[in-house]
Structure 1
């Protein structure tokens, strides 16, 4: 059961982060401030590292890191919401102020945090995986807080 749970969690969190990589790239293209472009680019790279780390973890434990969303997963609802949010970010922010772009990204991060919290609350996820998920959760929380602070500027 634990192996199945961690495989589902990894699949969803991987897909969430793959989508976030693209979302941050699109957000960086939309903002006008060079500082914001650079920071959003950093967040995109961070999510790409998350994907790489999680894929490595999956291989280490002999799990397949799928590119599709699981049907009955630990974090399906949250992951789907993040996916929809990031996929729609370009249409939602095109021509918007930098503040609006940051607000959209912050909303995506809030949903991502919920997905991670769902996984972290599971008793079937091994301690090693929880450590990785917790570290990524904390980094996403920092990003969300940065976005919240900077959207008001």
Structure 2
């Protein structure tokens, strides 16, 4: 088993928090859009992010890291988690106007911030191989989602 450092634990904690925040953000976005197809897709993204958080939590626990416990104390205070929260916080104001394009813009911003956090985690030389493969896979799926949203905004 790879040596787990504070840097690895922080990466897991940050990414779990980021995905929990994104799951809530996408759910709020789904509730706020008018288009039924878009509503279904955003709900699907919410479920995907909840699954990512769960997958990361389970994986972290295999290394003796407890993101559920540490994430609320340590992870929520980290720069990455705070930035993602700020990225998603504007979703509420966008929803009040019921403007689907504005809501998608906020989702895009949230995903951009999440991608940055994933890229920071992937730069770590201390990340175990197993962790790196999970994080790379999720990063790719978030990038695909962001690209889909970017394409939808112009419609």
TM-score (norm 1): 0.91
Distance 1:94 1:52 in 2: 30
Following superposition, the deviation at residue 18 of structure 1 comes to 0.5
- Picking from 104, 107, 131, the partner of 2:106 is 104
Distance 1:132 1:148 in 2: 24
Deviation digits for residues 23-44 of structure 1 (CA, Å, limit 9, x no counterpart): 0000001100001000000000
**Count of residues in Structure 1 that have an aligned counterpart in Structure 2:** 150
Deviation digits for residues 83-137 of structure 1 (CA, Å, limit 9, x no counterpart): 1221331123321411111011001101110000000011111111011110000
Output aligned runs, 1:19-30, within 5 Å.
19-30=21-32
- Picking from 140, 143, 146, the partner of 1:144 is 146
CA RMSD of superposed structures (Å): 1.7
Q: Aligned residue for 2:116?
A: 114
Q: Aligned residue for 1:3?
A: 5
Q: Aligned residue for 1:53?
A: 55
* Unmatched runs of 5 consecutive residues or more in structure 2: none
Output aligned runs, 1:61-72, within 5 Å.
61-65=63-67, 66-68=70-72, 70=74
Moved more, 40-49 or 95-104: 95-104
TM-score (norm 2): 0.90
Distance 1:77 1:137 in 2: 19
Distance change (3 Å), C-alpha of 1:99 and 1:69: farther
